[in-house]
Amino acid sequence: MFKNIFEILFIISSIGILFKICNSQQIFYKPMISIISLLLIICLLMKKDKFEQYGGKEVKITKTRKKLLNKCGLPDNMNTSHCFSDSTHHTCCILGPKARAYADNSGNPIGKASVNAYKAKTGKNPKKKDLTSWCTCTGSEVCSYYADKFKDGTHLRFINDPSSNKIGSNFKTFSEKTYKKRYGIGSHNTPGIYK
């Protein structure tokens, strides 16, 4: 939370001054307590990094994440707040129409989510055969499963390494499974994904 020694020294000295003023018998110091307390609170709030909660894990929202969203063709809004920021949604998947319909009907409504993301990003509705982007679960290899099953244009665009934010995109050589192992992303189940 505190990025340098000056912030820490400022906080320690502010607390020390507050204690000294509180123990003083001088009445004129009392308003200063409120002023210093207010300044301290403002500094702490300004320095607070933005975090979001997802899947029981707090994650920092960064400029790099915003670049990943843009590279994937996704808007930065509440519906994509989990993308590239939790423990599994690190695959940028381009979904075809059959994959979208299957996902929605199997209990994983990312088809509708990707269409809404497309609308939010471009300001227009995708045509039925258009491809749409979504961040899918690397842990259950959703995108690879849909791409193999439907052959409707669904494909991996890239996979983000959550520990370094380096991306993998050489999918002729490596599978989503390989990147999952390489990046230390844990396996899990997703509705409609059967292996």
Determine the residue type at 95: L
Residues 114, 43, single domain; the answer is no
Task: Give the global pTM.
Answer: 0.69
Q: One digit per residue, pLDDT tens: the chain, 195 residues?
A: 445 666 676 777 767 666 666 666 665 556 666 666 666 666 655 554 444 433 334 445 578 899 999 999 999 999 999 999 999 999 999 999 999 999 999 999 999 999 999 999 999 999 999 999 999 999 999 999 999 999 999 999 999 999 887 888 776 666 789 889 989 999 999 999 987
Residues 88, 165, single domain; the answer is yes
Dist CA 113 CA 104 (whole Å): 9
Residues 57, 104, single domain; the answer is yes
Residues 9, 103, single domain; the answer is no
Dist CA 97 CA 91 (whole Å): 18
Could you tell me if residue 192 is inside a domain?
no
What phi, psi does 23 have (nearest 5°)?
-85, -10
Domain span at residue 9 reads: 5-47
Give me the number of domains the chain comprises.
2
Residues 112, 168, single domain; the answer is yes
Q: Angle between the 30-47 and 5-23 helix axes, to the nearest 10 degrees?
A: 160
Dist CA 167 CA 83 (whole Å): 14
